[in-house]
Homo-oligomer: A and B are copies of this chain.
Amino acid sequence: MSKTAKVSKQVDEKPTILITNDDGVTAPGIAALIEVAKQYGRVVVVAPDAPQSGMGHAITIGKPLRLNHVNLFGDVEAYQCSGTPVDCVKIAVDKVLHKKPDFCFSGINHGSNSSINVIYSGTMSAAMEAAIEGIPAVGFSYEDYSFDGDFSLAQQVANEVIHKMISNQIPQKALYNVNIPKIGLKKFKGIKACRQANAKWNENFVERLDPTGKKYFWLTGEFQNRDKGKDTDVWALTHGYASLVPIQYDLTHHDLLSKIKL
């Protein structure tokens, strides 16, 4: 094959793009992401059939999964799955696509997944599962928790990141955590590559009594940023930028490893 023929083949062959999320297949954020991604290739959606926020990297063990076709996004092939976001990626590869997609985009999440939230987020864990499979992946999250938020800035950022990733302007062999600030388009300063801020949640369980007088507890908490750095995702989001954090799934603390004597 001549070089020219090879190039035109690459241009003709549109990539297969898997889309998922953790807010569920009916969340407006996934529709917003599909709208952007379908410009770049064949989009296939496999997303949870119910909200799965905070599911982290959970997988379903001990009970089976359901997978059903849904007709929600016009001509885009879509399925809802009874499992977690990570299950969705696994079943999409094995039972829907029967191959690895070229890219996996997760979101757009309703609410930020910056800093430590990356660990609790089903949206980010779905993207991480794709990365473990060797699929270039990005999780997108928008700082607005409401379901009737304005996704136009989030879509603009997703479009820029997806375009750069597909055209290989940013490394493809990676997983990115992209968060979009809730600000007006005019105040937006651009996308900034950052590190994960060292932040945590301070828990404060709220106690209630059921009708029989027995206690139960609601998990609530307050976000506490312990990190004063200007190179963090939290800093970027509070200063008019969208943040892009490259993420790894090798959890080894290599610096500490070299110091351990047993």
User: Residues on A close to B: CB < 8 A?
Assistant: 51, 53-62, 64-67, 83-84, 86-87, 90-91, 93-95, 116, 118-120, 125, 128, 132-133, 164, 170-171, 174-175, 177, 190-196, 198, 200, 203-205, 207-208, 214-219, 244-254, 256-257, 259-262
Contacts and interface: CB of A to CB of B under 8 A. Distances in A.
A257 to B, nearest CB: 5
A4 B240 CA distance: 54
Contacts of A56: 55-59, 86, 125
B191 A251 contact: no
Contacts of A119: 57, 128, 132, 249, 251
A51 to B, nearest CB: 7
Contact of A205 (B95, B170, B254): B95
B254 A195 contact: yes
A203 B90 contact: yes
Contacts of A247: 251-253
A219 B174 contact: no
Contacts of A170: 260-262
Contacts of A244: 260, 262
Contact of A260 (B67, B171, B203, B207): B171
18 contacts: A51-B62, A54-B59, A55-B56, A56-B86, A57-B58, A65-B216, A65-B219, A66-B214, A90-B203, A94-B204, A170-B260, A171-B260, A193-B257, A195-B257, A245-B251, A245-B252, A246-B256, A247-B251
Integer count of this chain's copies in the complex: 2
Nearest to A226: B134
A233 to B, nearest CB: 9
B198 A250 contact: yes
Name the 8 nearest CB pairs between A and B, nearest first: A56-B57, A248-B253, A246-B253, A246-B256, A56-B56, A64-B216, A54-B61, A193-B260
A196 B90 contact: no
Contacts of A133: 200
Given A217-B95, A257-B246, A196 B55 contact: no
